[in-house]
Chain A
Amino acid sequence: MAVSIQNLTKIFGEQKAVNDISFEVKEGMITGFLGPNGAGKSTTMKMATGYIRPTSGTVLLDGIDVTEHPLKAKSIMGYLPEHNPLYLDMYIREFLGFIAGAYHLKQPKRKVEEMIDLVGLQRESGKRIGALSKGYRQRVGLAKALIHNPKVLILDEPTTGLDPNQILEIRQVIKDISADKTVILSTHIMQEVEAICDHVVIIDRGELVANDELSVLKAGLNETNGIILEFEKAINQKVFEEAGFELKEYGKNAYLIESERSDLRAELLKITSEHDLPLVSLTKAQKSLEEIFHRLTQKTGV
Chain B
Amino acid sequence: MISIFIKEVNEFLNSLIAYVVIGVFLIGIGLLMWVFPDTNVLDYGYASMEPLFSMGPYVFMFLIPAITMKSFAEEKRAGTIELLQTLPFRDSQIIMGKFLAGFFLVFFSVLPTLIYYFSLDQLGNPPGNLDTPGIIGSYIGLVLLGGVFTAIGILSSALTGNQIVSFILAAFLSFFFYSGFDSLAAINIWADWSYYIGQVGIMSHYTSISRGLLDFKDIVYFISLIALMLLFTQLILGWRK
Which residues does A use to contact B, with CB under 8 Å?
46, 49-53, 71-72, 74-75, 77, 79, 81, 83, 85-89, 94, 98-99, 101-103, 144
A72 to B87, CA, bound (A): 10
Which residues does B use to contact A, with CB under 8 Å?
2-3, 6-7, 10-11, 14-15, 78-80, 82-83, 85-90, 241
Say which residue of A72, A86, A89, A101 sits within 8 Å of B11 (CB atoms). Answer: A89
CB B10 to nearest CB in A, in angstroms, measures 7
Known: A81-B86, A98-B7. 5 other contacts (CB 8 A): A51-B82, A51-B86, A85-B83, A87-B80, A144-B83
Say which residue of A53, A74, A86 sits within 8 Å of B87 (CB atoms). Answer: A74
Whether the Cβ atoms of B80 and A103 lie closer than 8 Å is no
Residues of chain B within 8 A (CB-CB) of A88 are: 78
Residues of chain A within 8 A (CB-CB) of B6 are: 98, 101
A74 to B11, CA, bound (A): 25
A94 to B9, CA, bound (A): 13
Whether the Cβ atoms of A103 and B86 lie closer than 8 Å is no
Q: A89-B11, A89-B15 are in contact. Are A98 and B3 (CB under 8 A)?
A: yes
Whether the Cβ atoms of A81 and B82 lie closer than 8 Å is yes
Whether the Cβ atoms of A85 and B3 lie closer than 8 Å is no
CB A62 to nearest CB in B, in angstroms, measures 14
Whether the Cβ atoms of B14 and A50 lie closer than 8 Å is no
Residue of chain B at shortest CB distance from A50: B86
Residue of chain A at shortest CB distance from B85: A51
Say which residue of B2, B82, B86, B90 sits within 8 Å of A101 (CB atoms). Answer: B2
Say which residue of B7, B11, B83, B88 sits within 8 Å of A75 (CB atoms). Answer: B88
A50 to B83, CA, bound (A): 11
A101 to B80, CA, bound (A): 17
CB A156 to nearest CB in B, in angstroms, measures 10
Whether the Cβ atoms of A74 and B82 lie closer than 8 Å is no
